[in-house]
Structure 1
């Protein structure tokens, strides 16, 4: 037990100092300035049975205060709840940016529903407006009126191919308070934002609810065709963009002079630019997850896909979560009960470091700091969700979402 306690403490010291400072929450939009000319933007919103949340999200897109040309394309992906008709009604009643509602029909084999809808929306946008940027945002995401302006300014100022913000998820019910901050915390641990944003680093990730993508970068990376089967599409998208940039910007036959700076005369670059991921200040998810069952499905539908559907990776994840998150409180309790001061000290120190790394995320979500010691219990729930994800996969019900199920590619 003392060796386990020592291993857990060493793991937390390494996570604290050696994992890209994942626990910090100060990665926000980079410094930005207004361009000489605001580029055109197409906002593409895939939507499947989103009538419940659309009245709180779509008007926020239509009322964007963007100085350049912008248009919204909502792709109704086979909804049965009147999503498309409701979108038209909201646009007629609220006004704002032009809205086009279309439907692509059922996905072709090998495509996930969301990426099939994005393909249709992006093609329609290119045909209608030939935009310089694409804002890919989910139907449950609400944007502050200056969100688009700030995203475009950040992308142009730093010459970024992709800017993504992790939307602030809803935290109202007990289960949301317990699960949601940890969800973002674990995501940052897997994909430390600072590593994602470091030029030349291999780590790549995005948050699918809010992705601003330069159209030329999308064409160079073959988006979305190159990732059409991806269940975790946001991470796959970021990897494709970053990989194509490192390949010199010619994957899709874009000539060198087709990739240039958009924010001043004479500025250009021969290859693609970097990507950026951070926490949001102006972007919020309005989807409610009032019960544990909804949160469980949100995590378990893609957890095994994150592990590449590999049993050995699943086993390693279970062992790792047990050692890192569950061992510290157990070691403390056993040490105190058995009079083993060394074991208790090791477990208590590891648990203290764990809690300390979780405090910034609790502050970001406005949650009480006394909730930090509950992280081992939350980690146990995530462990069970991950195992359940594998079980559902082998039962043929893996990655199920709104009536569709996706197996391993």
Structure 2
């Protein structure tokens, strides 16, 4: 058998394992678990870190202020050094729309060893703790919540006994590039962190989606959130791991009533979103980078290449293995496309998207070694060990 056949068979074996052995990551039916409304609704403080978010705030903040929550709730927006009037706009929106009480604070520039977002979260949690809430809702400034969102999150946490309940907000999918890249982003995330495994007690898999995290205040204190993860660029995953290490029970699933309103109309915008943290995900390891590139190539690029080459050269085994692997790829991607209400003909294009992600990951490493890694909104963050040495 030729090398091409062996590589194609290897890709097929990888897809069979992904299909059956990776927590059924491709299924999209992990939604908020069964819930019963509590007799007494706990006090919730909503913490929103915001840096230069004036463009999206008019769509997102009013949705938080208008939450139909039977208990007591307050919103704390932390203006992280914005230059576009984010804090003033937030106060103006609160005056015009009413609803839940809003407090706007500003922590100043983050010290060495802290990312800007987590420094803002720390300030917001500090303001909230002075009120004595039972739960904290950590949500991003570009996330819009339907009126019953907070109510459902709290009911799910109470009913399931979860210390952390997180929803992967439905990202915007309107431009051509968003249609090609965004559903795949969530698909790849679920492949890395199968949602079904996250809620299993004793499982080492832990992740959250930073746009919407409901967290018990005492669990946050036990896990030293956010101080314990102050340098994390991928802060949502780090937060979930810290809570789980502290004995907390966590749950993550796809959202039905929580949406991101942030547009990514150009490939450049999506490229920056992925590349700013991709190499951090690999712990800045050249070895992990090489393994990731090889893995992406084997799993996503080999199937169409093996099929085309096998048909062109008459290598039936290569064509058959490549074609079957590609068919499994398409079949596992279709549920995510349905969730995002996208046409099924996008599924065979997943190898193209995977190749883009491969390039984004390599670019993330290149930017890191050029000193421009993990750059976001005017700030560039050092790798964690360097940051900690400076703090």
Query: If the TM-score is normalised by the length of the shorter chain, which range does it land in?
Result: over 0.9
Between the aligned partners of 1:235 and 1:406, the Cα distance in structure 2 is: 17
Gaps of 5+ in 2: 385-391
Residue of structure 2 equivalent to 1:166: 168
- Deviation of 1:185 after TM superposition, in Å, equals 0.1
Q: Aligned pair 1:281/2:256, yes or no? A: yes
Residue of structure 1 equivalent to 2:134: 132
Between the aligned partners of 1:392 and 1:374, the Cα distance in structure 2 is: 27
- Deviation of 1:343 after TM superposition, in Å, equals 1.0
- Deviation of 1:108 after TM superposition, in Å, equals 1.0
3-state secondary structure, aligned to 1:32: coil
Aligned pairs for 1:181-330 (under 5 A) are: 181-245=183-247, 273-330=248-305
Residue of structure 1 equivalent to 2:312: 337
Between the aligned partners of 1:200 and 1:133, the Cα distance in structure 2 is: 24
- Deviation of 1:36 after TM superposition, in Å, equals 1.0
3-state secondary structure, aligned to 1:72: strand
Q: Aligned pair 1:22/2:25, yes or no? A: yes
Between the aligned partners of 1:117 and 1:91, the Cα distance in structure 2 is: 20
Tell me the TM-score normalized by structure 2: 0.97
Aligned pairs for 1:109-120 (under 5 A) are: 109-120=112-123
- Deviation of 1:374 after TM superposition, in Å, equals 0.1
1:35 aligns with one of 26, 35, 38 = 38
- Deviation of 1:197 after TM superposition, in Å, equals 1.1
Aligned pairs for 1:340-351 (under 5 A) are: 340-351=315-326
Between the aligned partners of 2:229 and 2:8, the Cα distance in structure 1 is: 42
1:48-84 residue CA offsets vs partner (Å, 9 max, x unmatched) = 0000000000000000000000000000000000000
1:187-224 residue CA offsets vs partner (Å, 9 max, x unmatched) = 00000001111111001000000000000000000000
3-state secondary structure, aligned to 2:138: strand
1:358 aligns with one of 312, 318, 333 = 333
Tell me the TM-score normalized by structure 1: 0.93
Between the aligned partners of 2:327 and 2:194, the Cα distance in structure 1 is: 21
- Deviation of 1:342 after TM superposition, in Å, equals 1.3
Gaps of 5+ in 1: 246-272
Residue of structure 2 equivalent to 1:383: 358
* Number of aligned positions between the proteins: 381
Aligned pairs for 1:364-403 (under 5 A) are: 364-403=339-378
3-state secondary structure, aligned to 2:351: helix
Question: What RMSD over aligned residues (CA atoms) do the two structures have, in Å?
Answer: 0.4
Q: Aligned pair 1:5/2:11, yes or no? A: no
Between the aligned partners of 2:31 and 2:214, the Cα distance in structure 1 is: 15
